[in-house]
Amino acid sequence: LLTDEALTSYGANFKLDPPLRTKPHIEALIAGVKDGTIEIISADHTPVAPEKKARERDAVPFGVAGLEPALPVCRAALIEPGHLP
């Protein structure tokens, strides 16, 4: 639910595999959740130590803590705008 624009404001903290996608991809995912095509939302919890994320983007390992931000991101992207009750 985060777009590739997070890479500009958060730098390597959101270097992920698979990578963050564009806004049209996110809109398609939201549509899939709303119409029932997507039934499950999950998060890959691959935390990386802050000192490893402080390197240049090419040297930074892929990963981010997925559990802590998952609920607030889903709430902000799906519930607050009214896509889900």
Active site (annotated) includes residue 4: no
- Distance between CA atoms of 19 and 70, rounded to whole angstroms? 16
Instruction: Classify residue 71 by burial, with Cβ atoms within 10 Å: 0-12, 13-18, 19+.
Output: exposed
Catalytic residue among 4, 17, 35, 44, which? 44
Identify residue 33 by its one-letter amino acid code. Answer: V
Strand partners, 3: 21
- Distance between CA atoms of 41 and 26, rounded to whole angstroms? 13
Return the active site residues.
44
